[in-house]
Each structure stands twice: as C-alpha cells, then as structure tokens.
Structure 1
Amino acid sequence: MSELPVAVVGAGPVGLAAAAELAERGIEPVVLERATQAGAAVAQWHHVRLFSPWSELVAPAARRLLEATGWQPPVAETYPTGRQWAEEYLRPLAAALGSRVRFGAEVAGVARRGRDRVVDAGRDSEPLVVHIRHSSGAEERLAARALIDASGTWGSPNPVGGDGLPALGERAAADRITYRVPDLTDDRTRAPYAGRHVAVAGSGHSALTALVALTGLADTGTRVSWVLRRGKVGDAFGGGDADQLPARGALGQRAKDAVAAGHVRVVTGFRTEAVEREPGGRLALVSDHGERLGEIDEVVALTGFRPDLSWLSELRLDLDVTLQAPVSLAPLIDPNVHSCGTVYPHGVRELSHPEPGVFLAGMKSYGRAPTFLAMTGYEQVRSIAAQLAGDQAAAERVELVLPETGVCGGAGLFDEPDGAAAGGCCGGGEPEVLGLAAPSAQR
C-alpha cells in the first residue's frame, strides 16, 4: 500500500498543513474538498479577527513549501481576519500544492476495501476506499493507504435546545435563528438586528464576540439578552490580563464592560426547551422550567459544534462516549475535568484508532470539546505524517509549546448553578473560538 496516496479530507488550515507535511516527506497526499476553494469554512467568518497572530497560524511545513514559491509571509505579530487568513495563506498554500488538492469532491464514505466494519480479516492488508461524490454528479472510488479527516465541525452547529437536540419549534423558526456570528459590517446582514431585540445563546468566545458586536448597535435601539444555561456568569469572561492569548483576554473584558454598562441583559440558568412564535411573528424562548423570554426578533445561537461521524460509520473508531473525541485524547481535553493550561501537545499516539491508518485531526479530533488552537492541529499532522513515513521517533517527539487553551466552562458541572466545578480562566461550551475586530481571534 505504500504506493497509494494518503487521503486528506478538508482543505482548511489543518488539512492543507497535513498535505504539506506529507509532501515534504515524499508521501503523496490527495486533499478532498467539497467546496470550490480552500478555507471555505474560514471564509464564512471572514469578518472575524483571530485571537492568534500570524506567527501561530502558518504551519511550519506549509511555510517552507510557500517560501519556495516566493511567497512573502505577513507580519508575524499582527492578527488577521478570517478573510486575510484565507486569501493570504490558505489559498496560496492550496495553489502551491497544485493538483494534490481536488475541489468539488465530497467524501460520502470510507471503508476498508471489500469489508464492512464487522469483518476482521484484511484490515491490515487491504487499503481504504474513499467514496467520492463530485459536484458534477459523478462518483469515484479512491484507494488510499491512510485517511486524515480534517473536515472540522463548522458544518454541524449545536442547537438552541438545552438537551443537545433541537428545541420544539426551533426548526420552524429557522428564519429568525442564526448559528454563526453575524457580520454587522454588512448592511443587509445588519438590518435585521438594528433596533431589535436579539437573544444570544451560548457562553463561549463566539457568544462574547456577538455580544460586543451587537452592543455596537445600541444607538439604533438594539436590545441584547444573553441566555446562559449555567446558573451564573462565573468565569465566562475569561482571564482578562492573565490570558496567555492577549486578544482573547481583551475580548472577554470588552464583553464584561458591556454587561456592566447595562447594554446586555443576562438571563442565567435557562435551558431552552421550546421556541415559540408570538403574534406578529416575534419569538419566545421557553425553558425546561417554564420561564419565558419573549418579544425576541432574532436569535444568535452560539452553543458550540459537534463532529459529523456519519460517513465514517464503516470504520472502527475508538471514540470517547462523552466528547466523541479519540478515547486517548479525551482525558486531556475534557471540560468536565480540566481548567486552562491542561491540554498538552499530542500526536499520533493519542489520535490512533483500532482502524489502521485512520486519524481524526484538527477540530474534529476534539469532538465536542471547546477551544482548539491551529498550532495544536499543525502538531497533530506533523506527528501523523512522521509515523506514516516510518519516522517513529519524530512521531512521538513533542515539538510544540502551547499557551493556555481555555478548556473550561460550558459542559457538565460547569453548568451547575453553584459553579461547583468552576476554575480556570475561560468560559467555554464551544470549540469554535472567534473574536471581533482589533486584536481578537479564533485559534
């Protein structure tokens, strides 16, 4: 199987970094991306500025590949927006990888050749077969020696419903609910929020970003209600000046100031059970205890993301029952256990599964856990590529020092009214860590 390529799913930051690492080691990657361009998910939050500076957003192998083409790196200590990250790094990187990146190629499933997940024989000797559906409608089967799933979680946002399933009426109210941070610099996007009552659900950095942005519309009469499942705000504003990602700390402080100034109404201990239409078309959120938050014009639901595992159903994955992350990685990132600073750099050992040659990397490897950093994904795929190349020493060597990542607050005990498990520097609840303008950020 050494003559076969490694299939990489997703042409985002981690998928392209994986391809660069593999190519540098003489292993042929095939990157499969269902969108028409690299960084398609990043492009959807193009207006958001990242928490991390450029120095932490360019993968080492990717930098070497790009510099060989004459690429000039951006100023290391500046903070790009999503648009800048995509246009100045991800798309040039995809271009440098050339025909190794295939666009309009959606992965519909992956299996061991000629075997479903029940069959034991041949799992070490037969290649993987990736079932591809092209945008033209054509189908393809690609044999691969290994699979790196870096497809992320952006396409699977969590619902408003407090039990992890859509609340009653949530789907019917989809015209008034968004699951992304709205781009209020765009006049058409801004219009539904100006002068309206907006409910923001969620306790992580995406929610803080939305709060700060929406309070900028206060002069239009916009009212903001912040809906929290936890019993009190607690550490949701993060570590402030103590945060090792200064831009992230600054965002939390701005949100805290907005609440203190009375621009945001905080509603705590509210687990949404139903979304109801009121006369005139406005919405009401109803909690599992019957509390009602009404006269809402728009809902911004920022309650996190989850992995789509449906197309991996024929592979033998060892996933944690709580987080849906690789079982060896889960103890390092479980927000029920850890506060900030407890996520250690990790690699192929923590990411391996019973299915030979199959790895979840990037945000997808974190399952439902919060606060993932790009640097973490780059280290993951460096380690995976090293093992696939037979360099076990490099695969097991740690080549990364992480800042405090903020894995805390937002699940399990962190939702308890008395804050029984409070601790750590950051709020949580979602793995997508977004910021606002001027140094704010995502991973």
Structure 2
Amino acid sequence: MSETTTDLPVVVIGAGPVGLAAAAHLRERGLDFLVLEAGPSAGTATRAWSHVRLFSAWGEVVDPAAEKLLAPTGWVRPDPDGYPTGGDWAERYLQPLADALGGRVRYGTTVTGVSRAGRDRIVDADRDSQPFAVHTLGTDGREERILARAVIDASGTWATPGPAGAGGLAALGERAAADRITYRVPDLTDPATRARYAGKHTAVIGSGASAFTALAYLADLAKADDGTGTGTHTTWILRRGISGSTFGGGTADQLPARGALGLAAKAAVDDGYADAVTGFRTEAIERTDDGRVVLVAEDGRRLAPVDEVIVLTGFRPDLSFLDELRLGLDERLQAPVALAPLIDPNQHSCGTVYPHGVNELSHPEKGVHLVGMKSYGRAPTFLAMTGYEQVRSVAAHLAGDHEAAGRVELTLPETGVCGGAGLYDAPAPEASSGCCGTPAAAETLQIGAPAHTGGGC
C-alpha cells in the first residue's frame, strides 16, 4: 500500500455497537477513520427495538476502548450487573460514544457501493495498491465518493430479515398478506400495537430467541390483569420438532437472562397460551374472505385461520453494495470462509463460539473486513462481546501490531446446551438472532423486554 493510500481514513460502515467500538479502537491506535451511518443518530437499528431488554448485562455490552474514550467526558458508567433495553443502550452508551468521536461520525449517509478505485472486481493490475472507493448517498440526494485505506463493514443484518417461506424465499402470497405480517418482535407497550394483537390469534414462525420472546410477550398479554388480552392465543410454528434442547440452556446457561428466556417460552406452551406445530415448513400464505390468513405447509397441511403472523426466521446480510469486492464467503452461512466453521449454528451457541479476530475475518480483497452481525452472515449465535473482540483485532492489524491482532483477549459465557443442534433446534435460516432478553411485561423473569438483535447483544 502506498504512502498516499495509508494517509487515507479507514471507513467504518454503521454507527451501531460494533461500528462505534471499531472507531474507538482505531482512535486508540492513532488511525484516522470516518464512520458512515445511514440513520439520523447513533444506533439507529438498536433504537428500532428500544423496547427490548438485552440478555447480556451492561458489563458485557460496553467495549473497553470505548469506555476509556468516554471516561474523560463525564460519562456515567451504568451498573455492570443491570440489563439495558435497546433504548438504554442507544441513549446511555452509543450516542455518548458517537458524540465523543465527534465529527468523524457522519449521519444520514447511506453506502451504495464499495470498490477498488478504478478497478472492478475483474481487474488484477495494481489492485492491492489502490485505495477503496466508497460511494455514498446523503438524505439530501447528494452523491459522494470517499477514498479509504481500508473498509470495516459493521452495517449488521437488521434491515434484511428472513421470510416465512421455508426455502429461504418468500412464501407464495406472503407479499400480498404483508398487512398481516411483521418481521420484528412487536412492542406491546405501544397502545396501537397492543390493540393489534390483543384478543387475536397470532402465528409465530421461528425457533430462536426472538420467537421465544414473542411467545412470552403474547402469553403476558393473554394474562393481562385488565382483561384486555382475553382471547389472545398463539400458534407456534417450528420447522423441526421439539427436543430437550429446543428451549436453550435454561438454568445451566451462564447468561441467566438468556436461559430464562427459553424457560418463559416453554411456560407459554406448557400453560396453554401457545400451541406448538412441529415439522411445518411454510409454502404459502392465503387470505380468507374475512381478511385473515391461512398458512399452508409443503406437505399440504393447512392451519386454522389466524389474525396476525410474526415471522422471526433470522436475518441475512445485505451484500449488494459490496458486489465489486472479492469476498471469500461460505456458501451456506455467507460468513467469511475461515469463520464459518466456528459459528455454525448446528454446532455452536453464542458461548461455544471460539473468540476470533482478523485472521478469521480476512478476504481475498485485502483491507476489507466484515465485522459484528454482518460477519456472521446467517448464523444467529452472535454476542456483542464477540464483535468487540473482532474490531480490537482488526484495528491492531491495521496499525501493524500483528502480535496484538492475533492475541485472544476474550472468554465467552457458555450455554448449558452445546453440540449437535445446540441452542437452536432449527437450521440456520430459521434460528433468530439469539442475543437478547425477554418482554418488558414479563415481570416473573425480572429482566425485561423481548429479544432479538440490532447488532448483537
């Protein structure tokens, strides 16, 4: 890389937990950087699930380099044993961190493409010596081309949820029934959203943490003391069967809130607030004359009509704006080739993933690094701690400190369910993002709100 190229900034895509941690580590290393965030503030995706409480505690979701940067600003460190909601995480940590990084964080800037300057993906000549060209589009319609020495993509997977269709494509009729379908755990503290589900029959498709959360949340609605939830019932749709590992690690989980989440979902089924339908692979969604929907399986089974459908079948990376780069991705998970065997959800839960860094995140295109949820592709086993370790290693590598880049500085908490189908009794596309807590209304758990991801928890 030429001297001119090394003088350019490292472009970080996404001002979420891992993107901002990457910026903090780059700053600590004395490297210039620029964070590009499509939304209007730090943690835009995290704010989209502000009603959700993580199943990782504050002490596990604050990056060490970020904490050092925040300390002189008067920032008050939250109780490390407390469990933040997504809103807490954004307001009490992510936004102050972005503010501390100052003008190097740019909002309202969508990355539309990344390439080597003057080289499409076919061209070999002088490729590695060329800077990256990052094309952006502002909210004002202004286009810009930013040159960078390296690119760290921490844009996550929140914007690309999986469909209801079991084959990875939308089920027949899924788009036509869009007014009856949501792909997020609903915020039942919102009166309008609560009214949408209260007294209704809802189908929940999925078998990971987000599905557990929805089951617990809807069960709490059905049990509401004011009677507003009377008649609320859930049909839980799993593509596989129910086994001893379906509900996760339970009391054996070293992340207690994660274990409690699975137990809450089990209670929803055991107490009759949800019925489980197993081995059901959705092929079609049909409308009834009264506007409800019927789910149809590949084997021809038809379920009773439901009022609403909550699809929680995981997330997948948006790779479209990286199409001119030479990425080495696993054909199943869409994760870096060296990382994929370590995060395969058929073998691993969050806590059995070996900590990893730049060596596992490398691509044929030198200088580009997918980190955080983006690096996991379709695997649901991500934790924020893992992402922080990733960017610590990547920043050390970019600074030329290869000893630090190759060092492991993280020990992950384990789940009580490891090996085989592991924490997720389903194929990777069905498992949810597996990192957060339980419904805010689930007072029996004393840990808060429904779980899914926004960049890892």
TM-score (normalizing by structure 2): 0.92
1:3-55 deviation digits (Å, cap 9, x = unpaired): 10000000000000000000111111100001000101111111110001100
Shift of 1:389: 0.4
- Partners of 1:305 and 1:432 within 8 A in 2: no
Shift of 1:168: 0.2
Q: Please tell me whether residue 208 in structure 1 is matched to residue 212 in structure 2.
A: yes
Q: Which residue matches 2:169? A: 165
Distance 1:249 1:297, change over 3 A: same
Shift of 1:188: 0.6
Count residues in correspondence.
Answer: 431
1:199 is paired with a residue whose SS is strand
In structure 1, what residue type is equivalent to 2:334?
Answer: Q
Q: Which residue matches 1:418? A: none
Aligned residue runs from structure 1 range 13-412, under 5 A: 13-218=17-222, 219-338=229-348, 341-404=351-414
Residues 139-148 or 232-241, more deviating: 232-241
Distance 1:355 1:406, change over 3 A: farther
Q: Please tell me whether residue 434 in structure 1 is matched to residue 436 in structure 2.
A: yes
Q: Which residue matches 1:3? A: 7
1:293 is paired with a residue whose SS is coil
In structure 2, what residue type is equivalent to 1:254?
Answer: A
CA distance in 2, matches of 1:97, 1:124: 29
In structure 1, what residue type is equivalent to 2:384?
Answer: A
Shift of 1:339: 5.6
CA distance in 1, matches of 2:415, 2:58: 17
Shift of 1:262: 1.1
CA distance in 1, matches of 2:251, 2:165: 33
- Partners of 2:282 and 2:296 within 8 A in 1: yes
- Partners of 1:408 and 1:426 within 8 A in 2: no
- Partners of 2:46 and 2:86 within 8 A in 1: yes
1:230 is paired with a residue whose SS is coil
Residues 125-134 or 219-228, more deviating: 219-228
1:109 is paired with a residue whose SS is strand
CA distance in 1, matches of 2:418, 2:282: 22
Cα root mean square deviation, aligned: 1.5
- Partners of 1:49 and 1:81 within 8 A in 2: yes
1:263-286 deviation digits (Å, cap 9, x = unpaired): 111100000000000111000000
Shift of 1:234: 4.2
CA distance in 2, matches of 1:371, 1:330: 11
Shift of 1:337: 3.5
- Partners of 2:348 and 2:423 within 8 A in 1: no
CA distance in 1, matches of 2:417, 2:172: 30
Aligned residues with identical type, % of pairs: 66
- Partners of 2:252 and 2:415 within 8 A in 1: no
Shift of 1:220: 2.0
Aligned residue runs from structure 1 range 407-418, under 5 A: none
- Partners of 1:5 and 1:30 within 8 A in 2: yes
1:276 is paired with a residue whose SS is strand
1:390 is paired with a residue whose SS is coil
Shift of 1:407: 9.0
Shift of 1:406: 8.3
Shift of 1:439: 2.1
Structure 1 residue ranges, 4+ long, deviating more than 4 angstroms after superposition: 405-409, 425-428
Distance 1:80 1:340, change over 3 A: closer
CA distance in 2, matches of 1:271, 1:175: 21
Shift of 1:186: 0.8
In structure 1, list runs of 5 or more residues that go unmatched.
410-420
- Partners of 1:306 and 1:368 within 8 A in 2: yes
CA distance in 1, matches of 2:262, 2:378: 22
2:133 is paired with a residue whose SS is strand
Q: Which residue matches 2:443? A: none
- Partners of 2:295 and 2:305 within 8 A in 1: no
Shift of 1:405: 6.0
In structure 2, list runs of 5 or more residues that go unmatched.
223-228, 441-445
1:71 is paired with a residue whose SS is coil
